């Protein structure tokens, strides 16, 4: 029995690891190429002086194209605020950036299907815009601290604008980011393989299955302190779903961990006053719960 379970786990690990590696490198290269033509300065110019609603839509749109680590998102957010980008636009960018990058969406499409991926994208995108506008109307713009701009060390200086130079830098970006995140991908695939091969189906189905109404909010809350990257959590989530965990609970866990991780909150505490920081966390948890319940309804 043990050797059969081990064989199933190893087979799952190899399939997922190979699939994620190829997908990650390809999509990350495209993201790097997009960044060659859509720089941080371009974002600031595009968002500055726009109508509030249009600016928020553009903010969420730019957020979905940017790098997906806080070392890039937070300095870029601070640069936008210091450059005078409207509060609502900057906040919609902040909400969308860690949750809607092309790699995460592509992983959802491959591993969970286009319906779940589309629901995840649409609901998260709309919530990012709507809540940013609500926070702006409630006067949270006054909760921004006066902080000097941080230089984004994640981006190399752009020298050479021909296509060959841009593609070369994109390839280097994809390679470096893959080497940086490869352990997370392999850890996620390994944990998912273990769950797939050895964890009893009945246990997961009982604790976090679709019939447990508290599974989704609990999963969303757990995602914040454990800080599992979305790229790591998605292969784990696939194994959990196959064992009986609801799709909604998995999505809530991914959003909670990717959208409001402890490292990101630590960085934001240097920029946001306590009320705005609390509103940010509540927003991410609300998005996680909303997407989770809607996903379960869609699957049902």
Closest CA to 218 of 143, 159, 293, 154: 293
Instruction: Check residue 155 and give left, alpha or beta (phi > 0: left; psi -120 to 50: alpha).
Output: beta
Angle (CA) 213-134-99 rounded to 5° is 60
CB contact set of 157 (below 8 Å; sequence gap of 6+): none
Given this model, what pLDDT does residue 148 score? Answer: 42
Say how far residue 216 (Cα) sits from the centre of its chain.
18
Given this model, what pLDDT does residue 154 score? Answer: 44
Q: Which helix (H) or strand (E) holds 50?
A: none
pTM: 0.66
Given this model, what pLDDT does residue 156 score? Answer: 47
Whole-number Å distance between alpha carbons of 168 and 213: 49
Other residues' Cβ atoms within 10 Å of the Cβ of residue 31 = 20
Closest CA to 262 of 220, 223, 290, 215: 223
Given this model, what pLDDT does residue 181 score? Answer: 64
Given this model, what pLDDT does residue 29 score? Answer: 81
The tokens for 151 are 């230089």
Contact between 56 and 89 under an 8 Å Cβ cutoff? The reply is yes
Whole-number Å distance between alpha carbons of 139 and 135: 6
Averaged pLDDT in 10-residue chunks for the chain of 300 residues: 76 76 74 69 64 86 69 66 81 86 75 82 91 92 66 49 82 78 71 68 60 81 66 71 80 80 71 89 88 83
DSSP 153: T
Q: How far is CA 62 from CA 5, 42, 259, 286, in A?
A: 44, 10, 16, 22
Given this model, what pLDDT does residue 133 score? Answer: 93
In the chain the first and final C-alpha atoms are separated, in Å, by 33
272 φ, ψ (degrees, to nearest 5): -100, 145
Contact between 248 and 292 under an 8 Å Cβ cutoff? The reply is yes
């Amino acid at each position: 029995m043990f050797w059969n379970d081990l064989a199933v786990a190893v087979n799952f690990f190899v399939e997922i690891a190979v699939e994620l590696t190829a997908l990650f490198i390809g999509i990350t290269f495209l993201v790097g190429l997009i960044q060659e033509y859509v720089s941080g300065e371009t974002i600031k110019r595009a968002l500055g002086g726009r109508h509030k609603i249009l600016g928020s839509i553009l903010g969420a749109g730019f957020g979905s194209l940017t790098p997906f680590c806080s070392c890039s998102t937070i300095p870029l957010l601070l640069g936008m605020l210091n450059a005078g980008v409207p509060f609502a636009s900057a906040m919609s960018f902040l909400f969308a950036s860690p949750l809607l990058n092309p790699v995460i969406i592509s992983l959802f499409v491959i591993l969970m299907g286009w319906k779940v991926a589309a629901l995840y994208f649409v609901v998260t995108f709309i919530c990012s815009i709507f809540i940013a506008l609500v926070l702006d109307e409630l006067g949270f713009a006054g909760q921004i601290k006066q902080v000097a701009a941080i230089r984004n060390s994640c981006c190399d200086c752009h020298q050479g604008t021909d296509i060959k130079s841009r593609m070369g830098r994109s390839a280097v970006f994809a390679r470096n980011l893959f080497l940086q995140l490869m352990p997370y991908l392999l850890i996620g695939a390994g944990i998912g393989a273990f769950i797939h091969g050895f964890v009893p189906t009945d246990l997961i189905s009982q604790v976090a299955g679709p019939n447990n109404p508290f599974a989704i909010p609990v999963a969303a809350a757990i995602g914040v302190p454990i800080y599992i990257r979305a790229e790591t959590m998605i292969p784990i989530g696939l194994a959990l779903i196959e064992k009986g965990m609801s799709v909604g609970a998995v999505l809530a866990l991914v959003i909670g961990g990717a959208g409001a991780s402890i490292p990101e909150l630590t960085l934001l505490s240097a920029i946001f006053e306590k009320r705005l920081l609390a509103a940010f966390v509540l927003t991410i948890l609300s998005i996680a719960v909303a997407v989770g319940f809607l996903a379960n309804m869609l699957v049902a």
